[in-house]
Structure 1
Amino acid sequence: MYRPSTLVLGILAAACPLSCPAAAQQTPEAYLQRIEAINDSGPAIHAVVAVAPPESLAIKGKGPLAGRAILVKDNIETRDMPTTAGSLALKDNATGRDAPLVSRLRGAGGVILGKTNLSEWANFRGEHSSSGWSAVGGQTKNPYALDRSPCGSSSGSGAAVAAGMAWAAIGTETDGSITCPASVMGLVGFKPTVGLVSRTHIVPISSSQDTAGPMAWTVADAALLLNAIAGSDPADPATADADRHKPDFTVGLGKVSLKAVRIGVLRRQVGNMPALTALFETALADMKRNGAQVVEIDFQPEARLGKAELAIMLHEFREGVNAYLAGTPATIPARDLAGLIAFNQAHAAGELRWYGQELFEKALAATDDAAYAVARADAQRLAGAEGIDALLRKYDVDILVAPTTSPAWPIDPVLGDNFVDVGAGSLAAVAGYPHLSVPMGTVEGLPVGISFMAGKWDDAKVLRIGAAYERSRSAKLTAPALRNWAQ
């Protein structure tokens, strides 16, 4: 069994002074030492796949993020590091450009420390994958239990922050890829309204659902990051209205009250795990004690929503990845989706040992524009107008809540992930609405989060209510153990 050295324990103590309710801000150099101690050796978290060159690590300016070290997921372009999406086909994808959200981070004084591992192609390549695995970065581990899943494709961003390797990180989500890793690794994760943050120069899956978002220790830190990255981008039409929906997301977070806030509980999405249900009931009691009104909601999404969502993603991935690859350096060996499939077949030992590329193959055949249009209209109606919007209106509630997901399951590269039917995040993902996961406590030492969801452009409201819950929370949080759960 790996036992953390005195150096590593000291590093974690500095990053998590009070069982990690908030990460202490450190210098970029201190974070690099942590990465060397626990990412590349020791417990070998495998959360960070690249570190920025020294000239990029200088602290410049006095903006709101001045000197704060931030990691970004390795499907987001930075001018000084390759952007691989975890694929060997893109290992030399050095475009020399910053995604607009990265430019905004630098402009706010943030230091881009490096790139984080991810589920390869943001977990949209094949069936039975293991969250956090990529051919480039290997298997990311959950710092709370090294043998348990880090969940979701932004697993490296979550694991790096949880293990004290950065002040905060940027992940991306199509459906669950920010909120799930945040939940199982004791972090705040926020998926904004689609269109609040630019997607330009980010390797795509779905133009309908993709967004980047912050992962941090507190709601306030997530809001501070969102301030920096939100805003309109002429190259991304979905962001045309972003500037009109961009207040200072940090204002009032420390004082907002739950008094008279109506909380809609998605009861069918709580699941049937007694320990998780008990923790969720404690969270509801905490909110009621602080003035909230809890309203029970009996709702089950229609089964065809999931089928429509997959049809949308297959069609949009083919179009999006073809366009992205066409703009990569000429030396990249795959120029379109068909080329990626051929590349993986030619490099099967490194790429296809654990799982295949069934989703790539289905996306290549997803060329029926009329069927796509029907699926997109159905999905957005079922998740939005007849889903979240209808529930908020019918039950006269301000917010919808449920557990985010189950505790982390064992990592299994042979059989893949073991997702449990808990949570309702797909509603917010398909509708493109904001979704916040806040730590709720632990089950057998494994973190779990509570989700807060509302309507389009309700990002500030979701953050405010999440921050109010965060202050009211009575459950104790724990620090990462850096050992296997079973030990």
Structure 2
Amino acid sequence: MLLCRGIEVEELTICELQQHLTTASFTSQDLTQCYLNRMDVLNPCIKAVIETNPEALSIAIDLDTERSNGVVRSMLHGIPFLVKDNIATKDGMQTTAGCFALIGTRVPADADVVAQLRAAGCILLGKANLSEWASMRSSYYSEGYSSRGGQNRNPYNLAEHPGGSSSGSASAVAANFCAFSIGTETDGSLMFPADRCGLVSIKPTVGLTSTTGVIPEAKSLDTVGPFGRSVEDVALVLEVLADPNSRPSSLNPDYSSLLASKEMLINARFGMPMNRVWNSARDNAEQAAEYEALIELVSKIKDTGAKVYEVEFPSAEDIIPPDGWDWDYAEGYTGSSLSEFQVVKTEFYHGLKEYLTGLEHNESSILTLEDIVKYNIDHTHTEGGVPGTHLAWPTGQDNFDRCLEAKNESEEQYTKAFEYIRLKSREQGIDAALTHSEGDLDGLIVPISVDGGVSVSIAAKAGYPMITVPVGVDGKGVPFGIGLIQTAFREDLLIKYGSAIEDLTGPRPEPTYLNFYASNYTYIGTPPVSS
């Protein structure tokens, strides 16, 4: 139980917290201290937070003074939040992507999204843990682990990972360390943690939210989005983060005004992509119970009066792997030169150099990916740069090694891959599936993980928006949810119909903290072949 001046604030939404602040049930200083106290108790085991903001309480006091003088900047005024440690903050904290190599560097300014949230009156509590380098460095690794933050764990079952790479951002909200948090996604890093931590998250259209000041992975795929306990929470945060100049002026920017009840589903039209998506989920024997729960929810959606059609991605065989998430897959096979990873490794190599050379202070002269790779080898006892020297990274930094190839590859190779994944995921993918003889569909209903994560990946390749809503928990006590995908800048439809589906599913499942003292690593990927 999390009490603040005798009031239980655990699981309260942003609006509920704001109501207490308005009526002076407690102050923002009180609330900030309550969250910090909770971190003191639980974070040593969950490891969701890398470091706390030494200025958090003073910021809260200043915002309380503003409130007492009649100034309330927004619905987020005085609300505490966390940001992923690849998002720059120009304050007393580090920005390191979880690695020791960047300790001591100084960023030139707050990331745009941090500046926007500060301007809205939010209180930055600290930096959230993550899968180091946003899951970029290795093909087989412990999800949620960083050398700075240690092994982040799932508050529902600490023997399980919280999903990556925005693991700490999600697990912190799930464990009630903050009211909301901010993460980043290139491919799955918002959707998967929200799914496994019983949260709502929205992955915005690439370009709707600024990535300036975010350690880049791939500029054409990267996006910044919120985690919250409800669709209302993420809608309120997205209103602050969204760039009004990035989308068509005809689209409603007041996302929270679009929140709806289940009655909104009457006469709504949705599609279920079958080949390689729902069919793969159906055939997933290990997650049969979750599949049945999702199908039952689809039946409930139909019972409200919605129409749900079986649809297809025309490009399914070309771009969606048959055996689950695989960013090396394209042209119907793994290892294609037209794959998403071809795009990512090129953009990462060049984008990281641009970020590092733009730092205000860089005492160790970490200026390129080559410098990072060397640092990890020189400090392999903590960074696991050499395969087999650190339990969290059995394959060392093999993905970094592959990214180094980008310096010798032609721009033509990159361009061909970029154009291929865009065509197959957009015109021959999501946009085609949304087009129906009865009119454009209101969204594509998809699993988040029961299909092996492939639907999340096609939305990422397209740079299109997606929302996930909690549904239930699996046999290990780990949550799972359902997703909606739309075309570019139709976050309004995702919020409208996501909130309507949320009204059907009810409140999110609360964390149970099973295996509280677990000490295992939580591997994902393909294990290395032993010699």
**Alignment TM-score, normalising by the size of structure 1:** 0.88
Aligned equivalent of 2:446:
402
Aligned equivalent of 2:38:
34
Structure of larger gyration radius:
2
Within a 5 Å distance, the mapping from 1:121-160 to structure 2 comes to 121-160=133-172
Deviation at 1:266, TM superposition (A): 2.3
Deviation at 1:59, TM superposition (A): 4.8
Deviation at 1:477, TM superposition (A): 4.2
2:402 maps to 1:362: yes
1:376-426 alpha-carbon deviations (Å, 9 max, x no partner): 0000000011100011114642211111114xxxxxxxxxxxxx7245011
Check conservation: 1:23, 1:167, Cα contact below 8 A. no
Distance verdict in 2 for CA 1:15–1:24, change over 3 Å = farther
Deviation at 1:94, TM superposition (A): 2.9
Check conservation: 2:273, 2:433, Cα contact below 8 A. no
Deviation at 1:286, TM superposition (A): 2.1
Question: In structure 2, which of residues 296, 304, 318 is the aligned counterpart of residue 302 of structure 1?
Answer: 318
2:255 maps to 1:249: yes
SS in 1 for 2:467: strand
Distance verdict in 2 for CA 1:424–1:347, change over 3 Å = same
Aligned equivalent of 1:276:
290
Question: In structure 1, which of residues 218, 224, 238 is the aligned counterpart of residue 230 of structure 2?
Answer: 218
Aligned equivalent of 1:262:
269
Deviation at 1:463, TM superposition (A): 1.2
Check conservation: 1:16, 1:22, Cα contact below 8 A. no
Distance verdict in 2 for CA 1:28–1:357, change over 3 Å = same
Aligned equivalent of 2:468:
437
- What is the alpha-carbon distance in structure 2 between the residues aligned to residue 440 and residue 253 of structure 1? 18
Deviation at 1:107, TM superposition (A): 0.9
Aligned equivalent of 1:380:
422
Aligned equivalent of 2:21:
none
- What is the alpha-carbon distance in structure 2 between the residues aligned to residue 343 and residue 244 of structure 1? 49
- What is the alpha-carbon distance in structure 2 between the residues aligned to residue 118 and residue 427 of structure 1? 23
1:249-279 alpha-carbon deviations (Å, 9 max, x no partner): 1113045701111111123423123201111
Check conservation: 2:229, 2:508, Cα contact below 8 A. no
Aligned equivalent of 2:523:
none
2:199 maps to 1:170: no
2:297 maps to 1:286: no
- What is the alpha-carbon distance in structure 2 between the residues aligned to residue 282 and residue 332 of structure 1? 55
Distance verdict in 2 for CA 1:246–1:101, change over 3 Å = farther
For 1:302, the aligned partner's letter is D
For 1:336, the aligned partner's letter is T
SS in 2 for 1:224: helix
Within a 5 Å distance, the mapping from 1:426-465 to structure 2 comes to 426-444=457-475, 445-465=477-497
Aligned length: 457
Moved more, 114-123 or 388-397: 388-397
- What is the alpha-carbon distance in structure 2 between the residues aligned to residue 144 and residue 423 of structure 1? 24
Distance verdict in 2 for CA 1:276–1:24, change over 3 Å = farther
Aligned equivalent of 1:235:
none
Aligned equivalent of 2:61:
58
- What is the alpha-carbon distance in structure 1 between the residues aligned to residue 367 and residue 268 of structure 2? 51
2:351 maps to 1:320: yes
Aligned equivalent of 2:25:
none
SS in 1 for 2:160: coil
Check conservation: 2:14, 2:79, Cα contact below 8 A. no
Within a 5 Å distance, the mapping from 1:72-83 to structure 2 comes to 72-80=83-91, 81-83=93-95
Distance verdict in 2 for CA 1:22–1:426, change over 3 Å = farther
Instruction: Give 4+ residue runs of structure 1 displaced > 4 Å after superposition.
Output: 10-13, 20-26, 239-246
2:379 maps to 1:347: yes
Gaps (5+ residues) in structure 2? 19-27, 67-71, 320-328, 385-389, 519-531
- What is the alpha-carbon distance in structure 1 between the residues aligned to residue 102 and residue 6 of structure 2? 33
Deviation at 1:142, TM superposition (A): 0.2
Aligned equivalent of 2:326:
none
Check conservation: 1:59, 1:66, Cα contact below 8 A. no
1:8-53 alpha-carbon deviations (Å, 9 max, x no partner): 9x99963137xx999856711111111111113xxx1100111112
For 2:397, the aligned partner's letter is Q
Check conservation: 1:71, 1:170, Cα contact below 8 A. yes
1:260-313 alpha-carbon deviations (Å, 9 max, x no partner): 111111234231232011110121122112221111124435144374100000
2:111 maps to 1:99: yes
Check conservation: 1:15, 1:24, Cα contact below 8 A. no
- What is the alpha-carbon distance in structure 1 between the residues aligned to residue 343 and residue 148 of structure 2? 27
Check conservation: 1:192, 1:435, Cα contact below 8 A. yes
- What is the alpha-carbon distance in structure 1 between the residues aligned to residue 257 and residue 508 of structure 2? 25
Distance verdict in 2 for CA 1:485–1:33, change over 3 Å = closer
Distance verdict in 2 for CA 1:276–1:427, change over 3 Å = same
Check conservation: 1:172, 1:178, Cα contact below 8 A. yes
1:154-206 alpha-carbon deviations (Å, 9 max, x no partner): 00000000000000000000000001000001000110000000000100000
1:106-165 alpha-carbon deviations (Å, 9 max, x no partner): 111111111100010100011101211011101100000000011111000000000000
Check conservation: 2:260, 2:497, Cα contact below 8 A. no
SS in 2 for 1:251: helix
- What is the alpha-carbon distance in structure 1 between the residues aligned to residue 362 and residue 318 of structure 2? 45
Gaps (5+ residues) in structure 1? 1-5, 233-238, 407-419
Check conservation: 2:131, 2:167, Cα contact below 8 A. yes
Distance verdict in 2 for CA 1:12–1:287, change over 3 Å = farther
Aligned equivalent of 1:415:
none
For 1:45, the aligned partner's letter is I
Question: In structure 2, which of residues 6, 9, 31 is the aligned counterpart of residue 14 of structure 1?
Answer: 9
